[in-house]
């Protein structure tokens, strides 16, 4: 269904008809009609006062040039942005911040690891895991669709509801952790401030950026890394002597369980970006080389994550031998206090840097909140009718009180959220990657415009292969997980938390076998016909727009 504003002065042609519009609805529109894609989402509520208000706001946002698209695939004519370097900066900025530093500090602060042990794990984990979100980033330009919509091509239309819900919960948890860290950092600037104020400020800034959409978000990420990198360099200069004097190893050797569990917790922070990265390339050149997209994204993650992780691990480990740092860290729950203690010798300059570190947290929060919105809209068609900014407001309203409550026990909150995210993202990545490399083999095998919103389309698999893989992975995850609230029988033997690793490994053969069986039972070819055909017929509608044959 399409809604148009006959009185709109927006330039015609900027917002083409959504792909799921009926031919009849298009024919009824006058030629001068202005088509606004996200206005479709409030069509059923347009007769109410709230619906008319949302319709008016969405149309006004379109006039201002802000992104108003929902979860409909982006048309080919809009996927033309050749600034592929944005893939580097958006993920460099999203990880060159105090949150990533905190992830590295978990090793010494929570698992009792030394500097060297933490560094070895960080280097190994970051080199491997940064490849996962980098691969998923290629789906954005090549398919022009959001991450959770793309998951329908491996999980099935209804099966994709599960990862969509899990992604909403996981990303909301990440928002909570980010807000807590930033609130702590801002509170450490002055005794008159408290974490609650910082949490509210960060949440509102993230809301504004999410409200504006992808274009503003890319512009923001292009610049916001600068104060964070300056702050990290100053921290190294100021705290360099204390770091050099700190012992590299602990008096007692690290246990295998601690090393493995820290590694999987760290891996969760990186791999979890896989459910976000496609969302921020949907407007980029659809003809761009996937390898260029991959390497821009990979370098953005690696160049930012690894130094920040190592910096966090080094300062947290050295805090045990520096009384002022230890006091700032408190009982291990105040990372902002630790950063403030490190920068304290620089006086007002250090306070300014601390404020910048806290206020630039939206570099990670804004992309996360944006994906919360698109994932929530993918759960059900009724949710897809909501404008994105409405979902962002609801997300913010939930984020603030939970973050305020969770600030008192940061590391417990942090580790629990990371574990839960890692447990489900491992089989999710395994299923999507197996579908792509084993069955699709090429981006041309995804009939996105025709199948994305059609539960019965032949290009979408049935849900049960993915559900079988998920069920099998859950069995091994439960057996191998190690958390404060539960430890599996395998983890009790001192193996550490292997749940995320085995969840990935088990999902690959189970999904591959179930998918082959599903194709055989339905009489389908494992490789879609569009891949085998040397040529593809293209039909055109009455406007001359290409439609999938």
Percent of the chain at pLDDT exceeding 90:
39
- What contacts 136, CB < 8 A, 6 or more positions away? 147, 274, 275, 277, 278, 429, 432
Residue 39 in tokens = 């206005």
Cβ within 8 Å of residue 532, ≥6 positions away: 525
- Reading the block at residue 399, the tokens are 């984020």
Range(s) of the chain covered by CATH 1.10.4160.10: 76-532
Reported as a single tens digit per residue, the pLDDT across 216-232 is 888 889 989 999 999 99
Asked whether the whole model's pTM tops 0.85, one would answer no
As a whole number, mean pLDDT of residues 401-413 equals 72
Cα dihedral sign, 111-116-117-120:
positive
Q: What is the pLDDT of residue 9?
A: 35
Which pLDDT value is given to residue 525?
Answer: 56
Tell me the fold of 76-532: Hydantoin permease (1.10.4160)
pLDDT digits (tens, 9 = 90+) for 191-224: 777 778 888 888 898 888 888 888 888 888 998 9
**Which pLDDT value is given to residue 177?**
82
The mean pLDDT of 462-490, rounded to a whole number, is 90
Specify whether the CB–CB gap between 491 and 498 falls below 8 A: yes
Residue 39 has pLDDT above 60, yes or no: no
Q: What is the pLDDT of residue 323?
A: 86
Higher pLDDT, 36 or 61: 61
> pLDDT of 4-24, one tens digit each?
233 333 333 333 333 333 333
Give the Cα separation of 258 and 107 in Å (integer): 8
Q: Do the Cβ atoms of 7 and 56 come closer than 8 Å?
A: no
pLDDT of amino acid 348: 84
> Residue 526 above 60 pLDDT?
no
- Per-residue H/E/C for 271-300: HHHHHCHHHHCCCECCCCCHHHHHHHHHHH
CA 210/CA 370 separation, integer angstroms:
5
> What are 120-137's pLDDT values in tens digits?
999 999 999 999 999 999
First to last CA, the chain: 22
Which pLDDT belongs to residue 7?
A: 33
**Average pLDDT, integer, range 376-391:** 87
Give mean pLDDT, residues 497-512. 93
Contact present, 246 and 317 (Cβ < 8 Å): yes
Query: What is the maximum span of the chain, computed from C-alpha positions, in angstroms?
Result: 78
For residue 67, the model assigns a pLDDT of 74
Q: DSSP alpha helices (H): ranges in 46-160? A: 49-63, 85-95, 98-111, 115-129, 131-137, 139-143, 147-150, 152-155
With 80 as the cut, is the pLDDT of residue 529 above it?
no
Alpha carbons 498 and 473: distance in angstroms, whole number: 12
Mean pLDDT, all residues of the chain: 81
pLDDT in tens, 71-129: 889 888 888 889 999 999 999 999 998 889 888 988 888 888 889 999 999 999 999 99
Per-residue pLDDT, averaged over 241-267, amounts to 86
Task: Give the residue from 314, 249, 276 showing the smallest Cα distance to 95.
Answer: 276
**Is pLDDT above 90 for 358?**
no
């Amino acid at each position: 269904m399409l809604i148009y504003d006959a009185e709109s002065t927006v330039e015609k042609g900027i917002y083409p008809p959504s792909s799921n519009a009926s031919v009849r609805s298009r024919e009824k529109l006058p030629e001068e009609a202005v088509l606004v894609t996200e206005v479709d989402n409030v069509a059923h509520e347009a007769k109410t006062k709230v619906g008319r208000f949302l319709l008016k706001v969405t149309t006004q946002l379109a006039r201002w040039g802000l992104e108003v698209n929902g979860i409909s695939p982006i048309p080919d004519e809009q996927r033309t942005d050749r600034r592929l370097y944005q893939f580097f900066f958006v993920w460099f900025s999203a990880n060159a911040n105090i949150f990533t530093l905190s992830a590295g500090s978990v090793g010494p602060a929570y698992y009792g690891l030394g500097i060297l042990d933490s560094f070895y794990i960080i280097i190994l984990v970051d080199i491997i895991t940064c490849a996962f979100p980098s691969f998923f980033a290629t789906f954005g330009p090549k398919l022009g669709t959001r991450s959770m919509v793309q998951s329908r091509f491996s999980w099935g239309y209804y099966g994709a509801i599960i990862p969509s819900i899990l992604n909403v919960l996981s990303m909301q948890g990440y928002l909570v952790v980010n807000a807590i860290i930033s609130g702590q950092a801002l509170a450490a600037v002055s005794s008159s401030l408290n974490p609650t104020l910082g949490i509210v400020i960060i949440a509102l800034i993230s809301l504004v950026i999410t409200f504006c959409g992808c274009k503003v978000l890319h512009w923001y990420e292009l610049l916001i890394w600068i104060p964070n990198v300056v702050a990290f360099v100053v921290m190294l200069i100021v705290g360099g002597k204390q770091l050099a004097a700190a012992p590299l190893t602990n008096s007692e050797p690290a246990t295998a369980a601690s090393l493995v569990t820290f590694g999987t917790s760290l891996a969760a922070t990186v791999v979890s970006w896989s459910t976000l990265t496609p969302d921020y390339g949907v407007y980029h050149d659809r003809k761009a080389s996937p390898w260029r997209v991959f390497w821009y994204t990979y370098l953005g993650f690696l160049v930012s994550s690894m130094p920040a992780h190592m910096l966090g691990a080094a300062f947290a480990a050295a805090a045990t031998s520096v009384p002022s740092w230890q006091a700032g860290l408190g009982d291990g729950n105040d990372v902002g206090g630790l950063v403030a203690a490190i920068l304290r010798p620089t006086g007002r300059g250090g306070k300014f840097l601390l404020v910048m570190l806290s206020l630039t947290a939206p570099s990670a929060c804004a992309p996360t909140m944006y994906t919360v919105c698109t994932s929530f809209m993918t759960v059900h068609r009724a949710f897809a009718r909501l404008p994105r900014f409405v979902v962002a407001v609801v997300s913010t309203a939930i984020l603030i009180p939970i973050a305020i409550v969770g600030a008192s026990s940061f590391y417990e909150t942090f580790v629990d959220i990371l574990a839960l995210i890692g447990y489900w993202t491992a089989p999710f990545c395994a299923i999507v990657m197996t579908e792509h490399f084993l069955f699709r083999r090429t981006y041309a095998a995804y009939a996105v415009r025709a199948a994305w919103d059609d539960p019965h389309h032949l290009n979408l698999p049935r849900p049960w292969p993915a559900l079988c893989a998920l069920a099998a992975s859950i069995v091994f995850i439960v057996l191998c997980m190690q958390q404060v609230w539960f430890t599996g029988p395998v983890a009790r033997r001192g193996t550490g938390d292997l749940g995320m690793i085995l969840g990935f490994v088990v999902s690959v053969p189970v999904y591959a076998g179930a998918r082959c069986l599903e194709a055989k039972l339905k009489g389908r070819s494992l490789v879609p016909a569009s891949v085998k055909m040397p040529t593809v017929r293209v039909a055109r509608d009455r406007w001359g727009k290409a439609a999938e044959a």
